[in-house]
Structure 1
Amino acid sequence: MSEFIELESQDGVRMPWNIIPGTKQEANNCVIPVSAIYTPLKPFSASPPPPLLPYSPLRCRTCRSVLNPFSVVDFSAKIWICPLCFQRNHFPPHYSSISVDNLPAELFPQYTTIEYQSPSPSPSPATPPVFFFVVDTCIIEEELSFLKSALSQAVDLLPDNSLVGLITFGTNVHVHELGFSHIPKNYIFRGSKDVSKDQILDHLNFFLKKPKPVTGVIAGARDGLSSESISRFLLPASECEFVLSSVLEELQKDPWPVTADQRAARCTSTALSVAASLLGACVPGSGARIMAFVGGPSTEGSGAIVSKNLSDPIRSHKDLDKDAAPHYHKAVKFYEGLGKQLVNQGHVLDLFACALDQVGVAELKVAVEKTGGLVVLAESFGHSVFKDSLKRVFQSGDYELDLSFNGIFEISCSKDVKVQGIIGPCASLEKKGPLASEIVVGQGNTSAWKMCGLDKATSLCLVFEIVRKDIPDAIGQPTSNQFFFQFLTYYQHSSGQMRLRVTTISRRWEAGTGSKQDLIAGFDQEAAAVVMARLVSFKMENEAEFDPIRWLDRSLIRLCSQFGDYLKDNPSSFTISPRMSIFPQFMFHLRRSQFVQVFNNSPDETAYFRMILNRENVANSVVMIQPSLISYSFQSAPEPVLLDVAAVASDRILLLDGYFTVVIFHGITIAQWRNAGYQNQPEHEVFAQLLQAPRDDVDAIIKERFPVPRLVICDQHGSQARFLLAKLNPSATYNSDAPPVPGGDVIFTDDVSFGVFMDHLQRLVVQ
């Protein structure tokens, strides 16, 4: 797969089919849709990177695509032909010196991805980013002190020019006036009551000195809000550091009494609604993030997920399947509305949910995902998963997230391709046109999407439809056997300037007899597995009575019967190209993964796993589907081993990276030696190094990953060994015929092993 990784390093694109089926029928036969996983802001890997062009892009007058290396240029007539729609365009006067030896950067063949920063007529100051903290105070004292110390550290890391605001909530919502530094001052809203934007502005005294405008939307300084009244609630970090720190220091647990048989009154939805309306009034259209820190289930307001009575349990997957979760649909509807409001304002909702109980991530998912927000789920505000992840958000340097704002993503393609939609952190702008397919997958019915928040790792899954019915004749219409795709991403860079990144890619299409081998040659197994994982997650959430296992199995059987070689009714004759041979293994692990198996996970956890899957690139998503396993032993250097129970041995250490959880597993002999303290004796220095090697590798993983994974260190036969065993292929179980390997392990499960799975697959394919 090295050539696909190389293509990705240049353009940030991975496609399951890098040679594309040329007709609608052939695309349907391919089972996995023509699609792409695209990371719009992937850092340039080329050295030197492409220059940042200080002028506006040149666009085709018909399809509005941008001049690119695939354009055909007539240097004598100063004309360029758009490869997507074949329109002839004249170069403007400032390109008059163009020639074969004097090309502008956007025509260099290696710059298929390039970035523009339009010169602004007047040197306007860069827009500062806004961080609005919304903090839950209905938590026990110990949790509150963990949260306060994490927030104080975060405030120290904020960029000096950024604006900061603070809302705390429990039974009621408290909006803190940071601009009034003499004494702490806040405005209170009742948590059980929905408040409109106008009521909020009136209550916060925005129109004391200046009468309220009679017409128009009230938004920002241009509509009559004085900067003085805005700066009461949003202050530059450098100015309000002292006030904010003292407010956080004095923050108390919510004072309202809670009886022993009740949950605390927590109005998460009202607090988020107040924050969204306040930002919409003060800083519309500029990069702003609402960072919500929630420590328990919401019980007040329109977004409540459970009643206050402890005798009513919080909804489970079974309740959602039976439609027996009384608050669920109302809460989801509320957060859909909130998500729409935030998308219109260009603002992001981030969620840090830290509790042993569920807090409502499943309901909030729609608003967080549409705005491109970050999400972190941990058991406590004192847990390293939360503390280190929060630090990473504001960290600068090698591993920074590089948060960008206010993006708009557009797409152009050749005329025989349409877009069904995107599965990922964005919202449809409903820009209907000839490119939008009638079949909708994810955010569809459009060729442009809003991405309020994006970072260098945010990845979108684009699903295409091939609309050509048959292979065109070579006579008449100019046809090439290339499809072109162009992705345009406008965004507010972390420096505050607006930029446009343009990626143009070309893929060859094949149709008719003999095209099968070409299609196999361009098959990217990893990208295909990730597309299937996003599709199955999407279908599980949006299609009633959907059976994910049956759908995955039928897709795999169809793919293997289409592209495998076999004699009818002879399972042992089945073979498949090495280009596709790992794909059944990915599907086997996907069927057993946390995206498909919801048993033993709460709706919040399932929503969290799927949100991360929907925003990560191919390499990270593959680790979520099929974790990597590395073995450390005295006999050999650290080496990857099969994800199988046969890898367990008493004299080995295993490192399992499952993306969300990283496990260091010591074989029983290693654990006994460690407990006896051999690693501290000078003559056993090699043993000390063996123990340290997986720790060093884990530190490297944790350093570059967001959210920070949970680290589990366990021993063979210990209670936490389940974190490893649950992910392994159960080739040896309690009812296997063969005795277990000495020093090895067996898994107590009735799940089929990969060998049995493949036998069944071969038998069904050859029928």
Structure 2
Amino acid sequence: MANANEQLPAGWVAEWDANHQRYIFIESASGRAQWEPPAEQSTPSVDQPPAASTPPIAAHNKRRQYASNQGQIYYGANQSQPAEQSGYLGAGPQASNLFTPGLAIMENQQFSQQQQAHPPPTPQYFGGQSDYGQAPAYGQPQQPAAQPQMGGLADQFGNMGLGGGGGAQKGYHLQTANLITSPPDPLELLQPPPEIRLPPNSAISNSPFVTADPSYQRCTINAIPTTSSLLGKAKAPLALVITPYRTVGEGEPPVPLVTDTVIARCRRCRTYINPYVQFIDGGNRWRCCMCNMSNEVPQLFDWDEARNQPGDRWARAELNHSVVEFVAPNEYMVRPPQPAVYVYLLDVSHNAVQSGMVATATRTLLENLDRIPDEGGRTKVAIICFDVALYFFSMTPGSSESSMLVVSDIDDVFLPKPTDILVTLKDARDALENLLGKIGDMFKDNHAAGSAMGPALQAGFKLMAPIGGRITMLSASLPSLGEGALKNREDAKILGTSKESNLLQAASPFYKTFAIECSRAQVSVDMFLFSSTYQDVATLACLPHYTSGQTYYYPTFNAARPEDAVKFAHEFGEVLAMPIMLEAVMRVRATRGLRMSAFHGNFFVRSTDLLAMPAVPQDQSYTIEVQIDETLTTPSVLFQTAVLHTTCYGERRIRVITTAVPTTTNLSEVFASADQVAIATYLANKSVERSLTHKLEDARDFVVARVVDLLTAYKASMTSGGATAAGQLAAPENLKMLPALVLGLIKNVGIRQSAQIPPDLRAYAQALLSSLPSQNLIAYLYPTLYSLHDMPEEVGSVGEHGLIMPAPLPPSAERFQRYGLYLIEDGQTMFLWVGRDAVPQLISDVFNMPNYEALRGGKTTLPVLDNPFSQRVNAVVQKTREMRRGVYYPHLYIVKEDGEPPLRLWALSALIQDRADALPSYQQFIGTMKDKVNGTSY
């Protein structure tokens, strides 16, 4: 058309937006009518440029007026058009990239496609006869089990409803599975959660990013009941799982940053503007989606600060993304952003030196000085060593020398020098490097056996309290002197009894009260614990728990074993380089009628709903229970998490995560929208809480009872009774794996019934259960099993979407062949299980040993040999270490089928679908649940 404005009614103009290749229709008068083009002519497509003869129309220099529903005109979408066609469901290529599951689905999908495209390779080696019949050749693909087609998973990406603009479909399609005849399929855990189906036009943008990626924030149910009684009838937990600072992997979209400090918030409920608000009054005001309050649009909201000209409101990140970060203006600061401060407390007692911890820690710190965040040159560091006394180091800026100051009075801790102990990293770099190279020699002959950990913590706190920051404690023995001294309370007689939960509670009030002091002063504490004997992890973990830190535990650490040194050096190096968020507070808001009722995770609850986090590490998860206090009358509800923090680069920011969820009065929609991964994460947190307030047995009974109640409610409400009902255990298709995850939870070291688990190991497992993000936690509860000896030749090679991984198998020894090679992993530990009839060529190719008899079990580093199979196995092992978020570097153990019994039993305990000691197999567990649901023993 020659001129777009010729077809518009009076008072309207069309502006061509060259950046976005679309027209913006602007009503210059104050009327509210919406114009549509004549029937015989089409509105210019948002995806096509104008005809060559159509000149761009100059932008108006006055503030734009937006009519009602103007966003629909802007995007060229007719209101009567189906939501699928207008892009609201996000069913396009962009949407398929939003969800990054724990194991790369696209890699498995590619493996499935290539397995069909390529015939099985020619057998390389023959396994011989075994009890299981003729062994297939090593290197020959196994016959694929009956599994869902992976191609279907790709289709589900497109139907996730990530567009959030409102789905035209009504309700959820509820499918019922019989758990008795439906064995667990690990591929189910790789699928995205049930889609969020919002009413049409819920969002003002059709961006594929208006629904938050579930890895940032997910809800246990994606259709919220309108009343608490309906929720109670469903017996489904209502909770949010939040990982506000998850790492962004390669190829993932970064969180957009709004830098103009224009922040629009509701005057009443303080909600941040987001894609689910409504613009009214010609675009001059916006209506809050939480409380319906009408608010003024800030004057500079439509101004492009970078270009110093009118901007495009609809291109603003906060209206197109549900996860966004703002640069905060001055009114969000109590004080100017402080520099990042790191204080390292290093145990130099006899045990620490002899184990090699001191040498490994100082070398790792020296090698990673360049990785410590220090963009502005403001970062400050200090090193304090301790045994029965405290050793401070004074480093003069500009000098390469340092002097040691010894404080032996640990009952009244003081700083021996007011300056030069906490120094700027940039200015004291030479002295710091020199010191780190000498500490090992200084204490190599140290025979002091005591540990003044408490006084060392107090000294570090005094040093950094005016500023705040992070204390990193590295300790190799039980604190024995001064404040916080502990006694060995490990008692084998009470392990496995009702009194065992006492060992999981803090033995001294010092660590909790000191943690609260740290939280007030914006000081966070990380614990690295190395003792080969009892160290009371349960008590020491209080510090990271209440200061938003993390606990890392290395039992029987010995740097003489390269595997121990590599694991610690990798994890400590990643922690050193981690960009942390300082001085943080987090608050979760929700639509009226919803209330945050309980909080789980590493933080301190400062008020009823304000969580204090002195430092927020990446990939730490938090679970918040939600209660329905009033009847919900809106078609959808919103949850908005806001984290105000200072970056380690000295900038005050606010990260905002908004999730919209539809409401429903239909019980079937509640069940069909339930997210089994989020529910399992919630149950893991509740089990830890219950084990501390009650008993370990109560924790196990509680999580099982919650699932039984849910399945009982589902049977009563959604299935019809009949003659065959007693032989079935009905569950929604989307919750098929929940019983398997709960079985993995009650078999987890954190709450498992056993008299053989040391209390330190159990306490550390509980710390992981309450802090791991869902992506890592699910693997920790339901370990992954790969068959390596018969993996297709494409597996272990790099494909279009990265390294091609094997298809995961259910964790059960039923999958084992006596000639096979298997990898079992749970994100914390990996086992290579070698069958006793493994052919010599396989042993040679993977382990460089002549035969099975020459192979030794135990902790190992897999050699990389000059043959394709060795390289592929190493690639799978390395990818397994890298594919989950976090700093963890799992140990690898070789486990021989007839090897050392303790190691065999440890590896077999990861096969959670099998019976172990008094713990049931999956079939027994399902049978027990069926009896309880059907009332035969409940």
The equivalent of 2:221 in structure 1 is: 17
Partner amino acid for 2:758? S
1:356 aligns with 2:532: yes
1:232/1:718 CA distance change after superposition, 3 Å: closer
Contact 1:55 1:119 in 2 (8 A): yes
1:589 Cα offset (Å): 1.7
1:88 aligns with 2:294: yes
The equivalent of 2:265 in structure 1 is: 59
TM-score (norm 1): 0.80
Matches for 1:257-276 after TM superposition, within 5 Å: 264-276=449-461
2: distance between equivalents of 1:402 and 1:233?
20
The equivalent of 2:880 in structure 1 is: 701
The equivalent of 2:543 in structure 1 is: 367
The equivalent of 1:131 in structure 2 is: 342
Give the secondary-structure state (helix, strand or coil) at the position aligned to 1:184: strand
1: distance between equivalents of 2:742 and 2:409?
50
The equivalent of 1:434 in structure 2 is: none
Moved more, 152-161 or 566-575: 566-575
1:693/1:722 CA distance change after superposition, 3 Å: farther
Alignment deviations for residues 322-344 of structure 1 (CA, whole Å, 9 cap, x no partner): 77999998843100111011101
- Give the alignment partner of residue 717 of structure 1, picking from 893, 898, 905: 898
1:389/1:510 CA distance change after superposition, 3 Å: farther
- Give the alignment partner of residue 332 of structure 1, picking from 508, 526, 531: 508
Contact 2:484 2:510 in 1 (8 A): yes
1:155 aligns with 2:366: yes
The equivalent of 1:757 in structure 2 is: 925
Contact 1:645 1:729 in 2 (8 A): no
The equivalent of 1:447 in structure 2 is: 609
- Give the alignment partner of residue 627 of structure 1, picking from 779, 783, 790: 783
2: distance between equivalents of 1:679 and 1:712?
12
2: distance between equivalents of 1:499 and 1:56?
12
Contact 1:65 1:486 in 2 (8 A): yes
1:601 Cα offset (Å): 2.3
The equivalent of 1:300 in structure 2 is: 481
Partner amino acid for 2:685? R
Give the secondary-structure state (helix, strand or coil) at the position aligned to 2:683: helix
Contact 2:265 2:272 in 1 (8 A): yes
Matches for 1:153-192 after TM superposition, within 5 Å: 153-158=364-369, 159=372, 161=377, 162-179=379-396, 184-191=403-410
- Give the alignment partner of residue 426 of structure 1, picking from 603, 607, 610: 603
- Give the alignment partner of residue 354 of structure 2, picking from 143, 154, 162: 143
Alignment deviations for residues 553-610 of structure 1 (CA, whole Å, 9 cap, x no partner): 2212111111133527842144222112211111122111112116322222222112
2: distance between equivalents of 1:605 and 1:5?
35
Task: Provide the identity percentage.
Answer: 16
2: distance between equivalents of 1:5 and 1:25?
23
The equivalent of 1:585 in structure 2 is: 740
1: distance between equivalents of 2:505 and 2:770?
22
2: distance between equivalents of 1:534 and 1:274?
33
- Give the alignment partner of residue 517 of structure 1, picking from 655, 668, 687: 668
Alignment deviations for residues 363-399 of structure 1 (CA, whole Å, 9 cap, x no partner): 0111111112132211215164564444445459xx9
TM-score (norm 2): 0.66
1:21/1:205 CA distance change after superposition, 3 Å: same
Runs of 5+ consecutive residues of structure 1 not aligned to the other structure? 207-228, 258-263, 308-312, 431-445, 473-478, 734-746
Give the secondary-structure state (helix, strand or coil) at the position aligned to 1:274: helix
1:658 aligns with 2:848: no
1:702 Cα offset (Å): 2.4
Partner amino acid for 1:532? L
Partner amino acid for 2:878? D
Contact 2:501 2:695 in 1 (8 A): no
Alignment deviations for residues 426-484 of structure 1 (CA, whole Å, 9 cap, x no partner): 11111xxxxxxxxxxxxxxx22111112233121111111112xx57xxxxxx422111
Partner amino acid for 1:318? I
The equivalent of 2:55 in structure 1 is: none
1:400/1:284 CA distance change after superposition, 3 Å: closer
1:373/1:635 CA distance change after superposition, 3 Å: closer
1:648/1:233 CA distance change after superposition, 3 Å: same
- Give the alignment partner of residue 103 of structure 1, picking from 295, 313, 327: 313
Contact 2:747 2:919 in 1 (8 A): no
Give the secondary-structure state (helix, strand or coil) at the position aligned to 2:364: helix
1:326/1:104 CA distance change after superposition, 3 Å: closer
The equivalent of 2:763 in structure 1 is: 607
Partner amino acid for 1:601? I
Greater Cα radius of gyration, structure 1 or 2: 2
2: distance between equivalents of 1:485 and 1:690?
49
Contact 1:138 1:254 in 2 (8 A): no
Alignment deviations for residues 329-361 of structure 1 (CA, whole Å, 9 cap, x no partner): 884310011101110111111111112112222
1:560 aligns with 2:702: no
1:245/1:509 CA distance change after superposition, 3 Å: same
2: distance between equivalents of 1:246 and 1:687?
37
The equivalent of 1:441 in structure 2 is: none
1:724 Cα offset (Å): 2.2
1:200 Cα offset (Å): 1.7
2: distance between equivalents of 1:269 and 1:304?
7
Partner amino acid for 1:615? S
Partner amino acid for 1:178? M
Moved more, 326-335 or 633-642: 326-335
1:320/1:572 CA distance change after superposition, 3 Å: closer
Contact 2:645 2:654 in 1 (8 A): yes
2: distance between equivalents of 1:317 and 1:538?
24
Contact 2:524 2:548 in 1 (8 A): yes
1:522 Cα offset (Å): 0.9
1:90 Cα offset (Å): 1.4
The equivalent of 1:200 in structure 2 is: 414
- Give the alignment partner of residue 517 of structure 2, picking from 326, 335, 341: 341
1: distance between equivalents of 2:736 and 2:414?
60
2: distance between equivalents of 1:614 and 1:693?
34
1:172 Cα offset (Å): 1.7
Matches for 1:406-555 after TM superposition, within 5 Å: 406-430=583-607, 446-468=608-630, 471=631, 479-511=633-665, 515-543=666-694, 547-555=698-706
Alignment deviations for residues 286-315 of structure 1 (CA, whole Å, 9 cap, x no partner): xx21111111112222322216xxxxx645
Give the secondary-structure state (helix, strand or coil) at the position aligned to 1:547: helix
2: distance between equivalents of 1:189 and 1:406?
33
Contact 2:697 2:753 in 1 (8 A): no
1:675/1:492 CA distance change after superposition, 3 Å: same
The equivalent of 1:252 in structure 2 is: 443
Say what the alpha-carbon RMSD is for the aligned residues: 3.6
2: distance between equivalents of 1:455 and 1:145?
27
Alignment deviations for residues 16-61 of structure 1 (CA, whole Å, 9 cap, x no partner): 1111122112223333421111111235676475343331411111
Runs of 5+ consecutive residues of structure 2 not aligned to the other structure? 1-189, 196-210, 305-309, 796-805, 851-863
Moved more, 456-465 or 2-11: 2-11
Partner amino acid for 1:185? M
Contact 2:212 2:657 in 1 (8 A): no
Partner amino acid for 1:65? T
Give the secondary-structure state (helix, strand or coil) at the position aligned to 1:58: coil
2: distance between equivalents of 1:752 and 1:145?
41
Alignment deviations for residues 81-108 of structure 1 (CA, whole Å, 9 cap, x no partner): 111111111123323679x993155576
The equivalent of 2:201 in structure 1 is: none
- Give the alignment partner of residue 42 of structure 1, picking from 242, 246, 251: 246
Moved more, 403-412 or 481-490: 403-412
2: distance between equivalents of 1:271 and 1:635?
52
